[in-house]
Amino acid sequence: MDLKLLQKILRMMSRGDVRELEIDDTEAGLRIHVRRGPGEGEGQPAQPVVQWMGGPPAMPMAGAPAAAPAVAPSAAADGDVAGDDGELPPGVEEFPSPMVGTFYTSPSPDADEFVRAGDEFGEDTVLCIIEAMKVMNEIKAESIGEIVEVLVNNSEPVEFGQPLFLVKKR
Amino acid sequence: MDLKLLQKILRMMSRGDVRELEIDDTEAGLRIHVRRGPGEGEGQPAQPVVQWMGGPPAMPMAGAPAAAPAVAPSAAADGDVAGDDGELPPGVEEFPSPMVGTFYTSPSPDADEFVRAGDEFGEDTVLCIIEAMKVMNEIKAESIGEIVEVLVNNSEPVEFGQPLFLVKKR
Amino acid sequence: MFRRVLVANRGEIAQRVIRACRELGVETVAVYSEADADALYLRQADETICIGPAASAASYLDIPAIISAAEIADVEAIHPGYGFLAENAHFAEVCESCKITFIGPDPATIAAVGHKARARDMAIAADVPVVPGSDGSVDDEAGAVRVAGEIGYPIMVKAAAGGGGRGMRVAHNEPSLINGFHAARAEAAAAFGDDTVYLERFVENPRHVEVQILGDRNGDVVHLGERDCSIQRRHQKLIEESPSPALTPELRTELGAAAVRMAKAANYHNAGTVEFLLDPEDRYYFIEVNARIQVEHSVTELVTGIDVIQEQLRLASGEALGYGQDAIQLRGHAIECRINAEDPDRDFQPSPGRLDSFVPPGGPGVRVDSHCYSGYRIPPNYDSMIGKLLVHRADRAGAIRTMLRALDEFVIEGPKTTIPLLRRILRHSDFRTGTHDTGFVERYFGAHPTIPGPPR
Amino acid sequence: MFRRVLVANRGEIAQRVIRACRELGVETVAVYSEADADALYLRQADETICIGPAASAASYLDIPAIISAAEIADVEAIHPGYGFLAENAHFAEVCESCKITFIGPDPATIAAVGHKARARDMAIAADVPVVPGSDGSVDDEAGAVRVAGEIGYPIMVKAAAGGGGRGMRVAHNEPSLINGFHAARAEAAAAFGDDTVYLERFVENPRHVEVQILGDRNGDVVHLGERDCSIQRRHQKLIEESPSPALTPELRTELGAAAVRMAKAANYHNAGTVEFLLDPEDRYYFIEVNARIQVEHSVTELVTGIDVIQEQLRLASGEALGYGQDAIQLRGHAIECRINAEDPDRDFQPSPGRLDSFVPPGGPGVRVDSHCYSGYRIPPNYDSMIGKLLVHRADRAGAIRTMLRALDEFVIEGPKTTIPLLRRILRHSDFRTGTHDTGFVERYFGAHPTIPGPPR
């Protein structure tokens, strides 16, 4: 089972605010069914259903709701997590993770987030913490601008180069 | 040793009336030295000298006399024996062999050639004989036109599709 | 050994023969049709000769064209590969009359084993079990009942002129035999204008097990163990393996000895295969002799370490076998999957065309025999085999795991292939336990499976 | 067995480890640098994590990045492959402290065998022959003459602080020793500011023979026979084979036993290699222990039928070896050629770039371990290995023939490769007869060959 594929799909769903997605790719032997957020009138948590028959992911997607951004089947689908630039509005760019680790939006569980969508930041503004080998690394903006969107949820793992925020620089 | 390569080279030499050719392709581990016709003052017959170190023929030719037609390195170099069409003067086309066998220019060793360069032919004109399995097959023109050049020497082997003559059809 | 050999075939087997020749230091002449002019394996031949257009009848099946090529290229022998002219006794005779060695058995042997009734008689004489049946036709109900009493049920009534399942009835007891006898006769009369029928034991749920043999011109014959080819779809083999999971060591020895007897009875030399049906009670029945190299010879190569094609060349050149049965040791387990350019979702229609991407698997235990490469265009004129994927591991479970890993790695973009079907077969519990029979594929993966297969 | 393993490497060995894991049913997490984002083998991993930019120091050598990836991916073990962090005792310690199994020996073992003097002492204590030498430094001429009398000629004077051939002299008799002793001291003083020298027997025309060992955590150790790696260019192995053409069965047993003693002395578990020099008089000398899997492990896999990487995983997970030395049988002969993207005409400069065409050979006896494919771009950041081409045949002569056939088939368009050099080596009479030594490549194919090689 290719978790990276799932991760990409979940991220796209998150960005596109997609609630439910079904993929049935008999060629790749893949069925995916994902519901995000609490089900209406069901009260049960998001329940991804994934069946994987092995083989390289071919990724022709069927049955994706219209709200989901189109995904081009790509041989490098696994490799490039920052490959959706083409879809960004003008002036908006991604702020990539400088390291592998666990992403934290605030200095402690009870504290406020370092930044939220709409916040302005300066060069020394701490945007988040990434924990690597028990060390809490404060990630500074090192530029001036505004947060458009926080792309990663608190305490989620991130890899090197993974977009953490959408920002508008000045 | 790739005889087809040699065959092509010899045919090009024949067409270009090239007397001597040296190729030293260290890349392909190939050295070829060919002299055609009786040596001046030596009286010895054509003696191809070929050394082949194996490997697919790469065919970048070095040291070919200026008179030899340029040869483009081609992955399909072996496969296509009728691939030099581009060089033919307008109106001139190749007359390909309809079968594998041995090519004869005349009905018997003492007889005159069926056709020579400059001869006109009609539909029933016999252009040559190709011997296959001891059977002498008369090859008829099946069109009307003029022989521009006889490409194969008497009693040489020919393969299916190999150009036997250059002709101008009417 | 021969100095120079012509390869009268194309694709995978042409490449295979060229490889064997190169390793033996034998020069090769490859013939090809215009459709195969770009094939990469032609580069490995010492000489190539175009023998005709794409249509097989005018190229790979054209005896004068091939013999003519052999004569102008001055070869000593012709390797026919499989298919095309491989089991054509007339072609073998023409070679002989032209003083060219045909790499295979004698024309007389090819003709004899190619004739069903003669081969059956030969087997009976050699004490090789055949499917029990009536001695010739059965003309009346009473005769049918008597013969069935001798042979036992279930029994099959078959039209002598039959084919394609017409004029055929299976009976499990006397009343159904009587009904079936008359029904088959009527159907045969209507379909073929000939109501002659005969009886034969109906072998239920058989396995297809075949024995590879090698013989020299002195009459010495050894067998190289068996191959189990029970994974078939409409008599097309999809997966082959050696050893067969259905044989005990004793049965293997017995089957091997029967195959050697059969080969000797047929004056067989060179490589050949004796095919058997094996029923669930471990009774085996001779079916036929394949007087040629087979696609699946490679699984035998893996478990025996013997290069069967090199042996063919050596034996055809007149060398003696040089070793006895004791020298043949099977090691580990080998499986072969045939990767075909076919669309399993469209009833296995051929799916030729350009291979936009072709990345074969590799690594430990994996052997790939394929003439294809990225950018190669599979011509629509010939069979749909892209290649053979083989694995060799210490045991069957390990071989299955390696095969699944290799199938997962195989990248083929462009044509549809049988890989998804192969993957599902290898995951099936009947295959895993080795309890499958020749009905397995149609039962679980056919157009109308009798038992629903696992979800796809 | 582990549920989930992180592969802390790239290229061929990352793919090799992923293959082994897949066959064992172990999930894999592949880490990669930005330069490797397109690699096809990443598709075979269950999860992939980008750990940094192209530069190794910030990715494959970055311990925090790798450990961090291991933690977020929740793996139980890390396979380090070869190169990068494979023999880094500190990395193995960090893994241990993070409760992640390092797939390899203990950090203490890595550190001990990685220290030349400690490894030598360990070998002496384990009765494993080492190159005879002075017991520490030699401070005066008289001492040098005395030591040389004990050790015998030819002898080498070596600077303790030396390297790169400086402060090094070979002496074949007493006068040349006296000259060499003073010359080496003077050169060492000038070059390193330290004139300490020691003496060691000069092993002339040695072969490089190494023994693969496997050990479990209970202290049981077996060896898997030897590999002959005498075909080297500037200490880079080009061709490896097993068995070594230089060993008698008796010497093989003796060398194997010595390697097992050495491994036990080092409390070695998991896979490792004990390297020896073998001189023309069949005397062997311990050189070093490689505390990791090696590139050439695959030749051992072919002749033993044992999947060494699967064994690494099994042993690291705590399983016992489960078989003794008797269970290890060598069959046939295996040769490996390293196919590197290097230009032999430009002093083997790396030749990275796009593989416009990549068609690996196949067929009987051929194994290819390569992460490359048509269209793949070899990044300039790492080593230049395109892949390993291996053959396995019944005997050495057959293996050489198959290797030559396979090298001829290999199509690599784009980068320059070592294939032409490999072809010439395999055709050389010294290699054919197996009488070559570690000086072979430089002698015949070096920039200034001492003997002109065959025409190219």
Per residue in A69-127, pLDDT (tens digit) is: 333 333 333 333 334 445 788 999 999 999 999 999 999 999 999 999 999 999 999 99
Distance between CA atoms of residues C384 and C368, nearest Å: 16
Residue D115 in domain:
no
Residue D436 in domain:
yes
> Which of D:27-56 have CB within 8 Å of C?
40, 44
Where a domain ends, among C201, C232, C248? C201
Exposure letters D216-248 (e unless 16+ CB within 10 A, then b):
bbeebbbbbbbbbbbbbbeeebbbbbbbbbbbe
Query: What pTM did the predictor assign?
Result: 0.86
D57-72 mean pLDDT: 97
Range of the domain at C173: 132-201
Q: How confident is the model at residue B56 (pLDDT cuts 50, 70, 90)?
A: very low
Residue D25 in domain:
yes
Cβ pair B29:D423 closer than 8 A:
yes
Q: Left, alpha or beta for C225 (phi > 0: left; psi -120 to 50: alpha)?
A: left
Percent of chain D with pLDDT over 90: 89
Q: Does C398 touch chain D (CB under 8 A)?
A: yes
Distance between CA atoms of residues A75 and A54, nearest Å: 16
Q: Left, alpha or beta for D192 (phi > 0: left; psi -120 to 50: alpha)?
A: alpha
pLDDT at D44: 96
C330 and C364 in a single domain? The answer is yes
Residues of chain C with Cβ-Cβ distance to D370 below 8 Å are 362
Residue C223, Cβ neighbours under 10 Å: how many? 24
Residue in D closest to A54 by C-alpha? D44
Distance between CA atoms of residues B31 and B50, nearest Å: 6
**Chain D nearest CA to A158, separation (Å):** 8
Cβ pair C362:D368 closer than 8 A:
yes
**Chain A nearest CA to D393, separation (Å):** 31
Cβ pair B54:D455 closer than 8 A:
no
DSSP D100: -
Distance between CA atoms of residues B125 and C184, nearest Å: 61
Residue D70, Cβ neighbours under 10 Å: how many? 25
Sheet with A145-150, side-by-side order of all strands? A92-96, A163-169, A145-150, A120-121
Q: How confident is the model at residue C344 (pLDDT cuts 50, 70, 90)?
A: confident
Residue C141 in domain:
yes
For chain C, the chains sharing at least 3 beta-carbon pairs closer than 8 angstroms are A, B, D
pLDDT at D344: 81
Distance between CA atoms of residues C414 and C355, nearest Å: 5
Cβ pair D404:B54 closer than 8 A:
yes
Measured in degrees and rounded to the nearest 5, phi and psi for residue D109 equal -65, -45
C352 and C439 in a single domain? The answer is yes
**Chain C nearest CA to D69, separation (Å):** 25
Residues of chain B with Cβ-Cβ distance to C49 below 8 Å are 100, 159-160
Give me the number of domains chain C comprises. Answer: 3
**CATH number, domain with residue C184:** 3.30.1490.20
C172 and C267 in a single domain? The answer is no
- Name the catalytic one among C292, C314, C338, C396: C292
Mapped onto helix, strand or coil, the DSSP state of residue A29 is: coil
Token pair 């050389």 is found at D428
Cβ pair A29:C420 closer than 8 A:
yes
Sheet with C155-163, side-by-side order of all strands? C166-171, C155-163, C197-201
Query: Tell me: the pLDDT tens digits for D152-198?
Result: 999 999 888 776 677 889 999 999 999 999 999 999 898 888 899 99
**CATH number, domain with residue C380:** 3.30.470.20
D221-237 mean pLDDT: 96
D290 and D403 in a single domain? The answer is yes
Query: Tell me: the pLDDT tens digits for C300-339?
Result: 999 999 999 999 999 999 999 999 999 999 999 999 999 9
C177 and C241 in a single domain? The answer is no
Q: Which residues contact D339 (CB under 8 A, 6 or more apart)?
A: D370, D385, D386, D387, D388, D389, D410, D412, D417, D418, D419, D422
D38 and D177 in a single domain? The answer is no
Cβ pair D408:B51 closer than 8 A:
no
Residue in A closest to D72 by C-alpha? A157
**Chain C nearest CA to D426, separation (Å):** 14
Whether the pLDDT of residue B133 is over 60: the answer is yes
pLDDT at A69: 31
CA separation (Å) from A22 to A35, C393, D357? 9, 39, 38
C225 and C167 in a single domain? The answer is no
Distance between CA atoms of residues D8 and D70, nearest Å: 9
Yes or no: say if D237 and D313 are a contact pair by the CB < 8 Å rule. no
Percent of chain C with pLDDT over 90: 89
Residue B6, Cβ neighbours under 10 Å: how many? 17
D342 and D291 in a single domain? The answer is yes
Query: Tell me: the pLDDT tens digits for A149-170?
Result: 999 999 999 999 999 999 999 9
For chain D, the chains sharing at least 3 beta-carbon pairs closer than 8 angstroms are A, B, C
C287 and C154 in a single domain? The answer is no
Q: Does D414 touch chain C (CB under 8 A)?
A: no
Q: How confident is the model at residue A8 (pLDDT cuts 50, 70, 90)?
A: low
Q: From the CB coordinates, do chains B and A have 3 or more pairs under 8 Å?
A: no
Residue B125, Cβ neighbours under 10 Å: how many? 18
Cβ pair D22:C408 closer than 8 A:
yes
pLDDT at C173: 94
Residue C117 in domain:
no
Residues of chain B with Cβ-Cβ distance to C34 below 8 Å are 160-161
Percent of chain D with pLDDT over 70: 97
* A100: nearest Cα among D8, D17, D40: D8
Which ipTM did the prediction report?
Answer: 0.80
Residue D180 in domain:
yes
C243 and C323 in a single domain? The answer is yes
Where a domain ends, among C201, C223, C240? C201
Token pair 């001869």 is found at B119
CA separation (Å) from D401 to A137, C25, C45, C207, C364? 58, 9, 16, 38, 21
- Name the catalytic one among D201, D207, D252, D292: D292
Beta bridge partners of D367: D390
* H-run or E-run covering C152: none
C54 and C142 in a single domain? The answer is no
Q: Does D354 touch chain C (CB under 8 A)?
A: no
Of D44, D362, D402, the CB nearest to C360: D362
Residue C269 in domain:
yes
Distance between CA atoms of residues A71 and A58, nearest Å: 12
**Chain B nearest CA to D7, separation (Å):** 36
C150 and C175 in a single domain? The answer is yes
For chain D, give the mean pLDDT. Answer: 94
Whether the pLDDT of residue B6 is over 80: the answer is no
Cβ pair C423:A54 closer than 8 A:
yes
Q: Burial of C163 by CB count in 10 Å (0-12 exposed, 13-18 middle, 19+ buried)?
A: exposed
Distance between CA atoms of residues A46 and A169, nearest Å: 35
Where a domain ends, among C201, C229, C262? C201
Whether the pLDDT of residue B78 is over 50: the answer is no
Measured in degrees and rounded to the nearest 5, phi and psi for residue B32 equal -130, 135
Question: Is D292 a known active-site residue?
Answer: yes
Q: How confident is the model at residue B29 (pLDDT cuts 50, 70, 90)?
A: low
Residues of chain D with Cβ-Cβ distance to A161 below 8 Å are 34, 50
pLDDT at A21: 65
Cβ pair D23:C357 closer than 8 A:
no
For chain B, the chains sharing at least 3 beta-carbon pairs closer than 8 angstroms are C, D
Residue C111 in domain:
no
Residue C205, Cβ neighbours under 10 Å: how many? 15
Mapped onto helix, strand or coil, the DSSP state of residue D248 is: coil
Cα torsion D108, D110, D113, D116: sign: negative
Q: How confident is the model at residue C98 (pLDDT cuts 50, 70, 90)?
A: very high
Query: Tell me: the pLDDT tens digits for D264-300?
Result: 999 999 999 999 999 999 999 999 999 999 999 999 9
